[in-house]
Amino acid sequence: MRLFLCGGGSGVQTVEAYRRLNDMIDHTKPLLYVPLAMKPALYPSCFEWIKDEMRGVNIPGIEMVTSAEELIRKELTDYSAIFIGGGNTFKLLYELKASGAFDRIKRYIEQDGIVFGGSAGAIIFGESLASCALDDANHVGLRDIAGFNALNGISLLCHYTNQTEEKDRKNTAYLIELSRQFKVIALPEEDTLLINGSTIEVIGTKPYYYFENGTRIERQTKQTCPSVGSK
């Protein structure tokens, strides 16, 4: 399992994470970009965004899917990595599960495929989408909000401490209460969790936060991350 789970940053916030991605991938294969968390009308601008983001990554090109059904038809091993972008997390997970693409991606990561997930694209790899309930509306009526659980019982929240003080205060109170049921890692936009087999590290420049049993613990990126290992 090789996962980059980014707190939602871009540009200078993610330079080091992209450098590590570049070190890991097969440079002969293109990148597969999945923007399904966004509204379809925004896909063209999403494609321009990803081209700019990947300008420092040595790949022969980028292919974008515009539906989960198209994603299913792809042979995922033909790509150097899959980049799953941000947007509405519930929409993204709904489309992946309804189409069967969820299971395809699950097999792909279990077979050592590389995924870079940003914001919504990272949150779906946690245990539950309950962690982002204050940030995203469940307009699609998704009932099964269980994610890939690649973090072995830990859920994720992104953009933490990058929003307004009021928003951060509400998220903190919510996550403290939620942590009585789910363990949660809350990432700022500047931080990326890198899960590489049985090891995990945090790439970034700002503190991240671990919520468990009604408490919030501030951690620096150089500190050991709560153990998640590989499934």
pLDDT digits (tens, 9 = 90+) for 79-89: 999 999 999 99
Cα separation of 22 and 16, whole Å? 10
Q: What is the band of 230 on the pLDDT scale with cuts at 50, 70, 90?
A: very low
- Of the candidates 154, 148, 157, 146, the residue with the CA atom closest to the CA atom of residue 227: 154
Contact 20, 213 (CB under 8 A): no
Q: Examine the pLDDT at 226 and tell me if it is beyond 70.
A: no
- β-pairing, 208-212 vs 192-196, is unpaired
* Arithmetic mean of pLDDT over the chain: 95
Q: Examine the pLDDT at 224 and tell me if it is beyond 70.
A: no
Query: Helix crossing, 89-99 with 101-110: angle to 10°?
Result: 90
3-state secondary structure string, 4-64?
EEECCCCHHHHHHHHHHHHHHCCCCCCEEEECCCCCHHHHHHHHHHHHHHHHHCCCCCEEE
Contact 171, 186 (CB under 8 A): yes
